[in-house]
Every structure is written in C-alpha cells, then in structure tokens.
Amino acid sequence: MNARASERLFRSVRRLWTSNRADGRNLAQLSPEYLSLNDAYLRTKQKCESKKLPLDVNPKGVFACNELDLKEVNIYGFDYDYTLAVYKASMDSLLYNLGLEGLVNKFKYPPGIQEMKFDPSFAIRGLHYDIEKGLLMKLDSFLQIQLGTVYRGLSPVPDVEVLKLYKNKTVPLAYVENHGKTSQYFSSKMIQLADLFSVPEMCLLCNVAEYFERSQIDYHPEILFRDVKTSVGAGHPRMHKIVQENVTEYLEKNPGITEWFQRLAAAGKKLFLITNSPYQFVNCGMRHMIGPDWESYFDLIIVHARKPMFFTDESRPLRIYDKVHNTHVWDKVTQIKKGVIYYEGTLSQLQELTGWRGSEVLYFGDHPYSDLADVTLEHGWRTGAIIEELTHEINTLNREEFKKHCNWLQMLTQLIEECQEVEEADAKVTLGTWMLERDKLRQQIKKVFNRQFGSVFRTYHNPTYFSRRLFRFADVYTSSVTNLLHFSAQHTFYPRRGVMPHEYSSYFV
C-alpha cells in the first residue's frame, strides 16, 4: 500500500468512527488518546507496507559464527552419517520401524503400538525430553520453555499444567546440563536429541506414549525412554545391512563431493574420515557417492571411532582393520599409512602419530556435541556443522508472505511497547486488540516451519538452546559440505556484526 492509499484508508476509518460507532458516540466524543493510538497504528502499518522486503538468503550459503581463514587450514576432516552421507526420508522410516519391531519382539510391548505410524512432520532436531516427566519440549537459549511446544505423547500439554510442573518457564541449569559428560546419556534429568538420527527416535517415543495414554496403560516415562533408545540403537546393525543391500533406496548421490575433494587435493590439503559407522557400511555408501576409488582421497580413515569417547578417552589404542576378513588385528600402530583402515583409537594418539593440531584442522560433523564440542574446546580444531534442515528453514525465510509477517511483527511489537502506558478505557481495548494480533502473527510465523515445534533455530524471539550450542561449537555451518564448492581454498568467512538490544530498537525500523 502506497502513502496515498494509506492516507485514504485513514480518512475512511475516521469517517467510519464518526458515522458508525457501535456505542453511538461520534468522533468528537472519542478521547484524544484513543484517536492518537489508531493514528499511530495506521501510520505504522503504512510505513511497514512501504518498506522494501529483506533480500533472500542463499540456501547454499556458508554462515560464519567465528572468522575462519581457509588459508590456515591444511587438514580437512569429516564425519560420515549426515555429513558426507545424505540420507533419504526412507532412512527415518526404516529406523522407526526397526525400533518399533524391537519394542514388540524384545521388550514385549503391546502389539497395538504397531498401529502408530511414523510421522516425518511431527518432530524437529534439538528438542529436549524430560526423562522423569515423559515430556518432549523446546527450550530457548536461556533455558526457557517455549509454551505451546510441550508434548506428552502426541498431545500438547496446556500451559497451566506446564507452569505447575516446572514452577515457572525457566528450567534450572542442573536439570539440563550434564557438566561436560558428553558420553553420558542419563547424567541429567533432560536429554537433548541433537542429531537427525534422533528424529525417528523422538517420534517412536511420542507414539508409544500416546498409545499408552489413549489405552489408559500405566507406564514409567524413564523406562519407556530407555527401552526406546535401546531398541532404536539395537536396530542400527540391521539398518546397516539393509542399506548395504539397497543403497540407492536410502542414500542420495550428493553431487559435487568428488569435485570438491579433487579441488582440495589439488590445493595440497590432507583429508581424513572419522566415523562411528562400520567399514562395510561406509564403503558401500562412499562407493555409491564417489566410486570404488573413494579411499584414495583420504590420508586417514578411522571407523568404529565411538565418538565422543574418541575425543575424550586416553587409553583406547588405535587398531588396524582387516577389510578382507572383516575384523581388526592386534598389531601396535606406530605410524599412519594411507590406504590402511583404522579402528577405534583416541584423538590424542591421532595427533601424536600425525602431528595434526589446532587451527590447521577443520572438522565437519552434524552433531554439535559428539562431533564438534570436544575438538573445539579441548583441542583447538576449527569446526563446521552440517545442518541439513537449513534448506527448509531458509526457503521458508525467503517467502514473501513470511517476510511481510516478520516486518509487521517487529513494528507492531515496537508500537505496543511505546504505547503501553495508556490509561483511557477505549485506548486499553485498542491496545489489547494489538496484542491479540501480535500473538496471532507469532503463531503464524512459528507454524510455517513445523506445526508443533516451529523453527529448529529460534523460539518466538530468542535463539533455541540448539542454536546456542551450535554457535558455540561451530565456526561455520551450512546445509551441505558441497556448498563449500562455491568458495576457494583461500577464502575467509567473516561473521556478520550482530545487532545488540541497546544498539537499535528494531532490525526493520
């Protein structure tokens, strides 16, 4: 709406107030405070609609949390699952069904739970599960529960009940943090489900809880959590075999990865792979993506690494894996040789044998804790997080309607803040309608990402707990490793200057 149209609208509204007030009062009888509020609203709306929308964000961009100069990086390291290997949606269904089968066959759960089907649109990465209370929820960077995102099974928990259970919206730090014990699943009362393998696990957990709730079957939330985690974990060996038998059904090609490896090799960079997955599984996937000569690109390959223990333990020796007999041998490893597959080991031993240390190493992984936390905090490696959901998130951000809603939400919020001291009754009613409009906008903006939980990266206005940890442990993050094809090996990534609350009242003013 241009300025003239907005002014015509304002005059029309004034005429409407004069001629058609529900309480019979005309414009002359309305308080100056009331008229001033409505005038401010219309002019703010006009200003918002006349503003240019933000430019689109590149879904294939590489985003910097810290300055990263690739000229200083001589060694590139990679995780495998969800870093080099990009899985299709069929992988989630497979893991879900294997976990479900384990619950019925091994743990003797009611066969009726098999009626509960996997819903790929239910959960997102980064949620927290309260092991004691059996609740799945989303926390922001200040450990505040985002009300409206707390679920027992598939059913939302009313805000009143949430506040009664937790006393207030903020969860105590000790309830969430496990004090650096990254290898311990149950050292805190809440567990964060931080990687994409967790999505089918979360769905299975909530589906079974929903079945119990509907069937009025008593259950212990922590027992359910442990059984689901064990069952899904026990399904991984079977998953490995199934994927190897039909790799095209579950694994994307990830085009561009060979070209990027060739470019890095031509620039004199060394490459290594450290993965928790078994060799046969990795070999099948890498042959599918790159070809039978995939090992030639890597100066070091370690399988069954058992991260994060690989980064924290000191006493597990590095062993050689025998590809022919599918076993590992007992010879002491005294040097690293290209073409040899290694098994287990520790980062300390790796650094001792290779001399690869500190900021000359850039390691990519998808899990902020088991892949990135220890190597950056304890060993000074540079890190890159591969967050596949960025593609969906950025495509959503780029929608014209979303941009308009965000602009108006920011400006309406500022208007409410500036006008909240009104005292006249009509003015307070008007202010209340603005607040209802703001709440509706916030819900619309949340639900376009995920109906239940919203964006992976933010709550209504704060970064999520997942975002906070991601920005702490990753120097850069992107949706795919092949996005780095768009940058030379001499490129420097610079973080953007963030706007602090005291610097500007709004991004959009």
User: In this structure, how many other beta carbons lie within 10 angstroms of the beta carbon of residue 195?
Assistant: 20
Angstrom distance (rounded) from CA 205 to CA 202: 5
CA–CA gap between residue 235 and residue 239 (Å, rounded): 6
Inter-residue contact 78 to 481 (CB < 8 Å): yes
- Return the structure tokens found at 375: 């190597």
Of 175, 189, 276, residue with least CA distance to 233: 276
Strands of 21-73, DSSP E: 62-64, 68-69
Reply yes or no on whether 92 is catalytic: no
Is 79 known to be catalytic?
Answer: yes
Query: Whose CA is closest to 69, among 459, 503, 362?
Result: 362
Beta-strand pair 270-274/300-303: parallel
Nearest Cα to 372, choosing from 197, 363, 356?
Answer: 363
3-state per-residue secondary structure call for 117-139: CCCCCCCCCCCEEECCCCEEECE
The catalytic residue among 23, 69, 79, 227 is 79
Structure tokens at 5: 């149209």
**Active-site residue, selected from the candidate residues 23, 39, 81, 140:** 81
Phi/psi at 323 (5° precision): -65, -35
How far apart, in whole angstroms, are the C-alpha atoms of residue 347 and residue 365?
A: 15
Instruction: Name beta bridge partners: 300.
Output: 272
Q: Is the previous residue joined to 158 through a cis bond, with omega within 30 degrees of 0?
A: no
Q: Which residues are catalytic?
A: 79, 81
